[in-house]
Structure 1
Amino acid sequence: MQTARKGDWYEISIPAEWTTYTLEILFRDVWKAPKKLTHLFRMEKRVQVNGHVPDWTKRLAQGEKLQLKLFQEEEFGLIPRFQDIHVLYEDDHLIVFNKPAGIDTHPNEQNQTNTLANAAAYYLQAKGEFRHIRHIHRLDRDTTGAILFAKNALAGSIMDKMLEERNIKRTYLALATGVIKQKKGIIDKPIGRDRHHATRRRVSTGGQKAVTHYEVLKSFKKDNLTLIKCTLGTGRTHQIRVHLSTIGHPLAGDLLYGGTAVFKRQALHAAKLEFSHPLTKETIICIAPFLDNPPIFQGIEPDSL
């Protein structure tokens, strides 16, 4: 698919496989954009075909130029604040950071500025890009690794739907307490809030469906620890932490869920992120190297997953 940025506009040369679509079908069924966002694009005339306001019910023709106004300046929606951050991937629509430990993904309180989202806003501001940046998923404060943000509303809405439909693959490295004997397994247990603790989650019959796949990579019998690879079938809050705790192998350093203080934080790293680009459909694979290089992970590199 041929695409190009032209000022505030993003231009797509209509491919042959789109000739059965109208703009209505493209936005609703292909991109699965929210009705409110689609309405906004129509009312503000932020969609053109060959430089003209289009008929949204007319089929697209191969080679026509579809233009989308995606890059106009926006308010950040939060306070930009400098913090050293590591970029794994970036283009006009998306940015993937390698999140360090000890930082929230986004503000949880008004005027909070020491988050990754604030640092992302500062990073873009320094480049002269004024965008309302949007996180697509979250990582806990002390979880490290790859995390995805969108730079515009259309890319964000497409990625939100892909996440909901489990079309974004996230692979984690985790250091679990105890020696896990089963080499591979699936933990399929619903997760809900813990009524007795404000931030804690627990396995609950009335909770949301949660599925975690794990594979043992290395056992440390002397230290009573196991290094595992985890992939998520769902994306519940604290999912890996809760699931490993409920099978008797909480994360090392995860004091909230029964782990011992052999690690300075919960030993969880989002090592790999894979997805199809929302507009170009290119396969994007991001590998997040360790930032704090924990000794227990020596010999295991994220790019080997």
Structure 2
Amino acid sequence: MQMRKKGEWLEITIPHNWVGYSIESVLKNELHVPKKLLHQIRMSKGAKQNGKEVPWSTALQQGDKLQVLLFQLEELGVITTYMDIEVLYEDDHVLVVNKPAGMNVHPNEEGQTNTLANGVAYHYQSQGQEVKVRHIHRLDQDTTGAVVFAKHPLAVAIMDRLLEQRSIKRTYLALVHGKLKQKKGVINERIGKDRHHPSRRRVSPTGQEAVTNYEVLNYMSKNDLSLVKVQLDTGRTHQIRVHLSHLGHPLYGDSMYGSKVKGSHQALHAAKVTFPHPISEEVIECVAPFIDEQDLFPGSVQDYL
């Protein structure tokens, strides 16, 4: 399927398998536009056939150009801060960047700068993109690796749905203390807030469902450390840190959850993210190289995926 951005419009050349579909059917069932956004597009006359306003019941023919108003100019929403962000993937709809340690994904208070979102705002501005900064998921301040941003409301709505459906797959690499009993396993323990600590989480029968899959890649007897590959079925706050600590194997450098080592940050890296593209549905796979973990993880990310 051919599609391209033309100013504020997404132009789609109708493929043979969409012949006879109405404009409304394409928007609802092929592009998965949610109800609220569908209403906005209707009100702004934001769908055209070959550049003309026609009824949404109009049947489309092969080679027709369907234009959809998707890329309206927006405020960035955060202060721009100059930083060198590492872009792993970018097109008109999605941006994936590699987050360093010691940085929040987004501001937690008005006027805050030096978060990843501030750097993304600078990146958009320097590329001449008037796009609101919207993250699809978060990483802890001291966790490094791939973070996904969406560039327009439709991409946001679809990516949020994919996240809910667990179609966005994230693979992490963690360095933990000790030797795990099992080479592979699933940790299925609910996670809730810790009453005694405002930001800490703990395994709790009344908490939210949390499922973590792990596989031990390497045990380093010299340091009594294990390198573990982790995939999440759910995305709870501090999930990997809580679950591995619960097993008796806290992350190296994670003093909040039991590590006695005073590292600069916990050894946790979001190494890979895979997702169906929100518009084309093509599978996108992004691998995030280690940024500042060379002293923690031996080798490169590719060695472990």
TM-score (norm 1): 0.94
Correspondence for 1:55: 55
| Sequence identity (%) | 56
- How far off is 1:147 after superposition? 0.7
Q: Report the Cα offset of residue 20 of structure 1.
A: 6.7
Aligned match of 1:34: 34
Work out whether 1:302 is the aligned partner of 2:302. yes
Q: 8 Å contact 2:255–2:262 — kept in the other structure?
A: no
CA distance in 2, matches of 1:26, 1:210: 36
Q: Matched residue pairs, number?
A: 305
CA distance in 1, matches of 2:6, 2:110: 36
Of residues 253-262 and 184-193 in structure 1, the stretch that sits farther from structure 2 once superposed is 253-262
- Asked if structure 1 preserves the Cα contact closer than 8 Å seen for 2:101 and 2:142, the reply is yes
Quick one: structure 1 residues 21 and 224, their matched pair in 2 at CA, closer, same or farther if it must change by over 3 Å? farther
What's the counterpart of residue 178 of structure 2?
178
**Which range is displaced more, 195-204 or 91-100?**
195-204
Mapping of 1:250-269 within 5 angstroms?
Answer: 250-261=250-261, 263-269=263-269
Matched, 1:195 2:195: yes
Q: Distance in 2 between matches of 1:22 and 1:211?
A: 41
- Aligned-partner Cα distance in 2 for 1:252–1:194: 21
When structure 1 is superposed on structure 2, of 26-35 and 285-294 the one drifting more is 26-35
Q: How does 1:119-130 map to 2 (within 5 A)?
A: 119-130=119-130
Closer/same/farther in 2, CA of residues 28 and 221 from structure 1, 3 Å limit: same
Distance 1:251 1:10, change over 3 A: same
Please give the alpha-carbon distance, in whole angstroms, between the structure 2 residues aligned to 1:22 and 1:210: 42
Give 1:208's aligned amino acid: Q
Q: Which consecutive unaligned segments of at least 5 residues does structure 2 have? A: none
| SS of aligned partner of 1:17 | helix
2:239 aligned partner: 239
Task: Provide the alpha-carbon RMSD of the alignment.
Answer: 1.8
- The 3-state SS of whatever aligns with 1:256 is helix
2:30 & 2:197 partners in 1: Cα distance?
41
* TM-score calculated relative to the size of structure 2: 0.94
CA spacing shift, 1:49–1:301, aligned 2, 3 Å:
same
Contact 1:171 1:232 in 2 (8 A): yes
- Would the aligned equivalents of 1:190 and 1:206 in 2 still touch at CA under 8 Å? yes
**Who is 1:157 aligned against?**
157
